[in-house]
């Protein structure tokens, strides 16, 4: 009787000793090592790994097509904004050409930028803030600020397109309280006289796109451009160039155009 009981106990102990080995054997059949086991059989691995590969490949292809690419921007032309521009009143954004109580004249301009969208999906530029300056042609001088501007409404671009015309509405003014006012006014007066040189305009723009702004990315562009003063368009607003510059006739007569 005792022999039978001891035999039963011995068999139970042998099974307990063998059970860790069996568990280890089962772990070795898992994919990965025993500590980071994420499937329980070779059959599981054969099913799971191809599915995982397909998912990762799909994610890679998706990211390639939706990954944001910064649009390319080039200057095209400058004109004077008119009331019938794009069928709406530009005054809603800029206000019409005006003269404030200090005699500073504001002329509403439209800066046309050529935008290329390299992305595989349509993009919307929600806003562009622009600071404009007259580029100083003398060494050591600072550029003269001549106003600010932006988009009137979000600008939409089809996917993989070029030559998208983006109009920036810009309030051009010569502030008389700036220390560099006189050189800037003389530069505008020369350029806005028949046969005068082109205006050298420098702009700094910050582009707001919701597609990437949540990442803290707000692309900035800056450039210095040259363009002929739109004399006839400015005068069609009822503004003389001398009103814009604020120079007196004797000062204008002394300029070398």
Task: Please give the Cα distance from 81 to 236 (Å, whole number).
Answer: 11
Q: How confident is the model at residue 35 (pLDDT cuts 50, 70, 90)?
A: very low
Task: Please give the Cα distance from 54 to 47 (Å, whole number).
Answer: 11
Question: Which of 74, 161, 166 is closest to 118 using CA atoms?
Answer: 161
The pLDDT value recorded for residue 251 is: 67
The pLDDT value recorded for residue 235 is: 87
- Judge whether residue 128 has pLDDT over 50: yes
- Judge whether residue 145 has pLDDT over 70: yes
Q: Name the maximum alpha-carbon separation found in the chain.
A: 134
Q: First vs last Cα of the chain: how many Å apart?
A: 128
Task: Please give the Cα distance from 128 to 148 (Å, whole number).
Answer: 11
pTM for the whole structure: 0.69
- Judge whether residue 242 has pLDDT over 60: yes
- Judge whether residue 165 has pLDDT over 90: yes
Q: Is-contact 172 132, C-beta < 8 A?
A: yes
Q: Which residue has the higher pLDDT, 24 or 196?
A: 196
Q: How confident is the model at residue 16 (pLDDT cuts 50, 70, 90)?
A: low
Query: What are the structure tokens assigned to 20, written together?
Result: 């860790």
Give me the mean pLDDT over the 159-172 stretch.
93
Query: What are the structure tokens assigned to 175, written together?
Result: 């502030």
Fold of 72-253: Immunoglobulin-like (2.60.40)
Task: Please give the Cα distance from 59 to 66 (Å, whole number).
Answer: 10
Task: Please give the Cα distance from 171 to 186 (Å, whole number).
Answer: 19
Query: What are the structure tokens assigned to 38, written together?
Result: 């994420």
- Judge whether residue 192 has pLDDT over 50: yes
Q: Is-contact 255 230, C-beta < 8 A?
A: no
Q: Which residue has the higher pLDDT, 97 or 21?
A: 97
């Amino acid at each position: 009787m005792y022999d039978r009981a001891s035999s039963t106990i011995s068999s139970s102990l042998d099974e307990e000793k063998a059970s860790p080995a069996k568990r280890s054997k089962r772990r070795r059949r898992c994919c990965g090592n025993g500590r980071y086991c994420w499937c329980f059989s070779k059959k599981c691995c054969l099913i799971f790994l191809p599915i995982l590969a397909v998912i990762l490949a799909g994610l890679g292809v998706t990211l390639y097509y939706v990954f944001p690419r910064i649009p390319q921007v080039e200057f095209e032309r400058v004109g004077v904004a008119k009331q019938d521009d794009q069928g709406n009143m530009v005054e809603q954004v800029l206000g019409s050409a005006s003269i404030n109580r200090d005699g500073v004249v504001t002329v509403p301009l439209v800066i046309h930028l050529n935008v290329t969208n390299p992305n595989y999906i349509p993009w919307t530029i929600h806003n562009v803030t622009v600071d404009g300056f007259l580029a100083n042609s003398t060494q050591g001088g600072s550029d003269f600020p001549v106003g600010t501007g932006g988009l009137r409404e979000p600008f939409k671009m089809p996917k993989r397109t070029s030559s998208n015309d983006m109009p920036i509405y810009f309030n051009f003014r010569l502030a008389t309280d700036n220390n560099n006012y006189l050189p800037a006014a003389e530069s505008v007066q020369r350029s806005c006289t028949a046969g005068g040189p082109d205006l050298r305009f420098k702009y700094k723009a910050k582009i707001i796109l919701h597609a990437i702004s949540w990442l803290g990315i707000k692309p900035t562009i800056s450039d210095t451009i040259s363009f002929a003063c739109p004399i006839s368009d400015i005068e069609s607003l009822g503004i003389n160039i001398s009103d814009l510059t604020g120079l007196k006739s004797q000062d204008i007569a002394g300029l070398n155009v």
